[in-house]
Structures are given as structure tokens and as C-alpha cells.
């Protein structure tokens, strides 16, 4: 074993590495009482009260109306002896022409419900009904006019809606779903609803789709639920198995194309993306199980197969997420911010990817991926993040697209774009990265100002614990690098540090501890095999002698880093005196 004391150096200025958080409005969800995301989530998200508010009366689970009109589904026709709607000659199409409450019971094949109301609210109470549309029709069609259409699944009932497998027009640009609406579409109640999208989509609205409380099972050939302008949900139980995207908002109009999920339980199995937002997505709670494109072991393709994707920003402040995606597990073309929640991620590409990525809170476990956290500007300020990567654990780089990717007769005249420096900043929390390539790879500047980090590269070859092309300053916290024996100290800073090279391979999980004459500094459990360790910590002091302890045991539930704790039965394998400078 070789012990080497590493001296101190000046700390580079870190101000340029700080990420600026984009200010936004406060997001609310009304359902009787007001539900608000955490203050940090409100500050991160661009969604406002107007974007996410759901009036309680729109999602009220109970209904009672003295003028309710009852509709019977009688095998092959509707029975409706009331005003407010009209029946076709064969009594297979019921067209609702007046606002109000309509209660549906019974079973029918070959029918269709059409809502064609010029103004007002329409309430469709599903009170134990099954409707299978004709072979070329939607089960429910809502035409322009009504201010809102509510589908209420009555408590204790099971309901089914299915469309036909063809359409008269083969225009793929026109929406086609089992339930297709031109107006706001609300699904509520505490009953159960099953939707079969046999032609393309399950549920589609050109305006908003809102889910609250009900239990929804959905099977579709293409997209599951599409709220063109917005998709909002609270307390719903959703199970969706879809050929393409499961939950989606795809409007490109300014201020539209967003997803807001406040709570509930979601099992999403999709051929392409699990949750997709053309603008932004805000998730403040709920339990999510998402499987996309066959999972992390699925075949790669040209289509997007991401777990949760947003074009401009993705903010998650709470909830539990189990994502297994062929592409990125969490993705944003702009900003991705985690301010809470627990995450188990498996990815065939990047576990998290964005232009600006920040982890402020949360418990993240990345079990498999190519690159763990990938962004141009990456900040970790809190929470616990564990990464196992086939390439790089942390990957900070700026992507530059070629202006002329095509063939040229004069390639020497082409200008190669030069990427500006990327940025990585660790100021708090716990970050553990293990990679077959580089555990920390930054094409630019990096800084560690606080928190705890463990960067583990390959024990023999293939990568390093750290590879930073620009300035790398360590001014606070505790950071450990482990990897091959030829790895050298990677940074500058004013922290005491010790470099330990072992004569033979050290196995994972064997405890390493640091202790002064009076107190234990910390004990750590390297989760991966190594041949060299470099330890830097602001918990060491100049002029103090420390002993290096190896082996022993800690409590079974002890964290990877246990500060102020010494392992029972550990043996001293060396000592050194911390000095100021070289």
C-alpha cells in the first residue's frame, strides 16, 4: 500500500457554474380543498393557477338531479322516452341536443352517443353500462358547443366503451378515438370505466382532458389519452396499455400542450412514450409504473420511447416512479428539475437528460442506463442519487448540431462547430455514481462545494472516476474517487485529501473508515471494487493525525456514508497527519 498526502491549491471562482432557476407561477388543484405543490415546485414550474385549476364542481363524484333523463341500452338499440335528445330511425344513434344530466344503464352493440349541444354543461352518468360502437364509429362523439362534458362513473358500477376498428375516412390527421371530443372532457366518479380504442386512440379531446377519482382501464391501438391542449389528473387509478403514447398533450400553441398530474396511481405500458407533453409537465404526486418500448432491454428505433418527456420543461416534486424505458427514462429538451419524490429508473439510453438538469430533493436509484444524468448544465443540491451506468455516470456536455450534415465535395471548407463548456455543480445531497466508463465526465467546468459524492470508475481500464476538461474545483463536502491504480488526483481545492493505492484488488462492500485520536470522522462502504481511493473532505483538519481503518461491520441499515461512526472490529491499515498545503 502507498499513502500519499495531496496538498491544497486555490479554488476557482464558482459563480459562473450556478444554475439560474426560471421563476414561474404557483400551481393549484382544486377538488373541494385546495392542493398545492411544494414551494420549490411552484418556483420551478411555468404552470400557473389558470393552467392547473380544476373547480370542485367539475369533478364532483356524486350526482343528483330532479330532471335527470334516463337512457336504457337495450341490446341493439337505445330507449329514451324523454325530450332533450333524438334517436335515429334505427334507434342506434342517440344525439343529445340539450344540456343537462343523462343516466345510462344496460348493454348495447352497434350504437353511438353524440353530444351536440350549442351551449351549457352536459353530464353523462355511467351507471352500469356497456356500449360497443358500430364497426366504423366512435362510442361517444362530442361536437363543438358544450362548455364542458362530464362522464361520471357511478360508485359501485362497471362501465365499458368501445369503438369500431375502422372509419369512413382514412385521414390519419383527423382525431379518431373511442371517445372523441371537441370540448373539455372530464372523467370523474368513483366507479370503474374500461375504454377500448380499437381503431386508434382511446380518449381524445381537442381541448382538455381531466381525470379525477375514477378507476380507468384503457387499451388502444395507438395513443391512450390525448388532451390536445392539456391533460390534468388527480386521485385517479389509471391502467393503460397502448400501441403508442399512453398519456399525452400535443398542442404546439403557446401556453398549451401541458400535463399536470397531482396524485393517483398510474400503470402505463406503451409502444412509444409513457407521458408526453409538447410544452411542459408538472408532477406533484402519485404512484407511477411506466414501461416503454419493451423497456431498457428493448430494441432501439427511430421513434421516441421515453418514460416521461416534455419539450420545454419537466418538473417533478413528489410521487413514486418506477420507469423502464427503451430510451430516456426522464427527458426534457429544456429544463428538468427534481424537487422531491422517489425514483427507480432503468433506461436503454440516458436515465435523465435535459439541457438544464437539477436535483434538489428526492431519492433516485438508477439501476441501468448508458449515461446516468446527462445535461449541458447539471446541478445536484440535495437528495440521494445512486447511478449504475454502462458508459458515464454524470455526463455534462453541450450538444452542437452540424449546420451542414450532408455530403460535400470540399470537406476541408466545412466549419466544425465548437461546443461551449458544460457545467457541473454539486452543492449538497448524496451522489453515488458507478460507471463502466467515466463516473464523472464533464466537457467543461466542474465544482464541488458541499454534499457527499462517490465516483467509482472501472478498477482496471475503460474509464476513470473523473474526467473534467476544464477547471475542477473542490471547496467543500466529502468526495471519494475510486478506480484503477493509475488514476491521478483530478482537481484543485482547499480540502485535505489522501490518496491510497492498494497492491491488490479491493472488493466492494468492505468498509473503509477514517478516525482521529478522539473521534470517528466517517465510515464508508464502497459499493464497487477498486484499486485506488482518493478521499477529500472538509471534515478533516490540518495538523490532526488520522488512522485509516479497514473492515468491520456497521448496522444493516447504515448508509453508504456514515459520519461520526466507526465500524465495529475494523483494523488500522495506516495513518497520516493532515497538513496545510503540500
Q: Which residue reads 467543500 in cell numbers?
A: 476
The partner residues of 30 in beta bridges, in order of sequence, read 34
- β-pairing, 371-375 with 392-396? parallel
Q: Please state, as a whole number, how many other Cβ atoms lie within 10 Å of the Cβ of residue 302.
A: 5
Fill in the DSSP letter of residue 450. S
SS3 155: coil
Fill in the DSSP letter of residue 449. -
The partner residues of 375 in beta bridges, in order of sequence, read 396
Per-residue pLDDT of the chain (582 residues; tens, 9 = 90+): 333 333 332 222 222 222 222 222 222 222 333 334 444 444 478 998 889 888 888 998 878 778 899 999 999 999 998 888 999 999 999 999 999 999 999 999 999 999 999 999 999 999 999 999 999 999 999 999 999 999 999 999 999 999 999 988 766 667 899 999 999 999 999 999 999 999 999 999 999 999 999 999 999 999 999 999 999 999 999 999 999 999 999 999 999 999 999 999 999 999 999 999 999 999 999 999 999 999 999 877 789 999 999 999 999 999 999 999 999 999 999 999 999 999 999 999 999 999 999 999 999 999 999 999 999 999 999 999 999 999 999 999 987 654 444 444 444 444 555 657 899 999 999 999 999 999 999 999 999 999 999 999 988 778 899 999 999 999 899 999 998 888 877 667 778 888 888 888 888 878 888 888 888 888 888 878 888 888 888 888 867 888 888 888 888 777 778 888 888 898 888 887 664 432
Q: Report pLDDT for 528.
A: 83
If you write DSSP's letter for every residue of 381-415 in order, what string do you get? -SSEEEEEESSEEEEE------S--S--S-GGGPP
- Dump pLDDT digits (tens) for 226-264: 999 999 999 999 999 999 999 999 999 999 999 999 999
Q: Do the Cβ atoms of 431 and 452 come closer than 8 Å?
A: yes
SS3 15: helix
**What Å distances lie between residue 233 and 216, 282, 420, 505, 509, CA to CA?**
12, 11, 40, 52, 43
Q: Do the Cβ atoms of 117 and 97 come closer than 8 Å?
A: yes
- Predicted TM-score (pTM) of the model is 0.88
Q: Do the Cβ atoms of 501 and 542 come closer than 8 Å?
A: no
- Dump pLDDT digits (tens) for 364-420: 999 999 999 999 999 999 999 999 999 999 999 987 654 444 444 444 444 555 657
CA atoms within 13 A on the CB side of 31: 21
Which DSSP helix (H) or strand (E) runs through 51?
helix 49-52
Q: Please state, as a whole number, how many other Cβ atoms lie within 10 Å of the Cβ of residue 542.
A: 11
Amino acid at each position: 500500500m502507498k499513502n500519499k498526502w495531496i496538498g491544497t491549491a486555490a479554488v476557482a471562482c464558482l459563480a459562473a457554474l450556478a444554475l439560474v432557476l426560471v421563476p414561474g407561477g404557483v400551481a393549484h388543484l382544486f377538488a373541494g380543498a385546495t392542493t398545492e405543490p411544494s414551494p420549490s415546485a411552484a418556483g420551478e414550474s411555468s404552470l400557473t393557477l389558470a393552467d392547473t385549476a380544476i373547480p370542485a364542481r367539475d369533478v364532483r363524484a356524486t350526482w343528483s338531479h330532479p330532471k335527470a333523463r334516463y337512457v336504457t341500452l337495450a341490446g341493439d338499440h337505445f330507449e329514451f322516452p324523454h325530450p332533450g335528445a333524438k334517436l335515429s330511425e334505427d334507434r342506434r344513434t342517440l344525439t343529445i341536443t340539450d344540456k343537462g344530466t343523462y343516466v345510462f344503464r344496460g348493454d348495447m352493440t352497434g350504437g353511438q352517443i353524440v353530444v351536440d349541444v350549442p351551449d351549457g354543461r352536459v353530464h353523462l352518468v355511467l351507471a352500469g353500462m356497456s356500449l360497443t360502437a358500430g364497426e366504423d364509429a366512435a362510442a361517444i362523439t362530442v361536437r363543438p358547443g358544450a362548455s364542458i362534458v362530464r362522464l361520471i362513473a357511478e360508485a359501485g358500477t362497471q362501465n365499458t366503451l368501445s369503438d369500431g376498428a375502422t372509419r369512413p375516412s382514412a385521414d390519419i390527421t383527423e382525431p379518431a378515438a373511442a371517445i372523441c371530443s371537441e370540448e373539455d372532457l372530464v372523467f370523474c366518479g368513483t366507479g370503474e370505466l374500461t375504454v377500448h380504442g380499437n381503431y386508434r386512440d382511446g380518449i381524445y379531446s381537442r381541448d382538455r382532458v381531466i381525470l379525477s377519482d375514477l378507476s380507468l382501464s384503457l387499451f388502444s391501438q395507438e395513443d391512450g389519452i390525448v388532451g390536445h391542449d392539456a391533460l390534468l389528473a388527480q386521485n385517479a387509478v389509471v391502467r393503460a396499455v397502448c400501441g403508442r403514447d399512453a398519456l399525452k398533450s400535443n398542442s404546439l400553441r403557446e401556453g398549451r400542450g401541458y400535463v399536470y398530474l397531482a396524485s393517483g396511481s398510474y400503470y402505463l405500458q406503451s409502444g412509444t412514450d409513457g407521458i408526453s407533453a409538447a410544452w411542459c409537465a408538472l408532477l406533484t404526486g402519485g404512484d407511477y409504473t411506466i414501461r416503454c418500448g419493451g423497456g431498457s432491454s428493448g430494441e432501439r428505433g427511430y421513434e421516441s420511447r421515453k418514460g416521461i418527456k416534455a419539450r420545454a420543461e419537466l418538473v417533478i416534486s413528489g410521487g413514486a416512479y418506477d420507469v423502464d424505458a427503451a430510451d430516456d427514462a426522464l427527458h426534457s429538451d429544456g429544463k428538468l428539475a427534481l424537487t422531491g419524490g422517489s425514483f427507480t429508473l432503468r433506461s436503454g439510453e440516458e436515465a435523465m437528460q435535459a439541457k438544464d438538469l437539477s436535483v434538489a430533493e428526492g431519492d433516485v436509484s438508477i439501476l441501468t442506463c448508458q449515461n446516468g444524468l446527462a445535461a449541458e448544465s447539471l446541478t445536484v443540491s440535495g437528495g440521494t442519487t445512486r447511478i449504475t451506468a454502462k458508459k458515464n455516470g454524470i455526463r455534462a456536455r453541450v450538444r452542437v448540431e452540424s449546420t451542414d450534415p450532408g455530403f460535400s465535395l470540399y470537406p476541408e471548407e466545412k466549419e466544425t462547430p465548437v461546443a461551449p463548456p458544460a457545467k457541473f455543480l454539486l452543492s449538497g445531497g448524496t451522489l453515488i455514481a458507478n460507471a463502466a466508463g467515466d463516473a464523472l465526465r464533464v466537457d467543461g467546468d466542474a465544482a464541488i462545494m458541499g454534499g457527499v459524492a462517490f465516483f467509482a470508475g472501472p478498477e482496471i481500464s475503460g474509464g476513470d472516476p473523473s474526467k473534467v476538461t476544464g477547471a475542477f474545483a473542490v471547496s467543500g463536502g466529502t468526495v471519494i474517487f475510486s478506480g484503477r491504480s493509475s488514476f491521478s488526483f483530478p482537481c484543485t481545492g482547499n480540502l485535505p485529501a489522501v490518496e491510497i493505492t492498494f497492491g491488490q484488488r479491493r472488493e466492494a462492500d468492505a468498509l473503509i473508515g477514517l478516525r482521529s485520536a478522539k473521534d470517528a470522522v466517517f465510515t464508508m462502504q464502497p459499493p464497487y471494487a477498486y484499486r485506488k481511493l482518493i478521499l477529500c473532505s472538509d471534515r478533516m483538519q490540518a495538523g490532526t493525525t488520522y488512522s485509516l481503518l479497514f473492515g468491520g461491520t456497521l448496522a444493516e441499515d447504515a448508509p453508504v456514508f456514515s459520519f461520526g461512526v466507526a465500524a465495529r472490529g475494523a483494523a488500522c491499515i495506516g495513518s497520516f497527519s493532515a497538513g496545510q498545503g503540500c
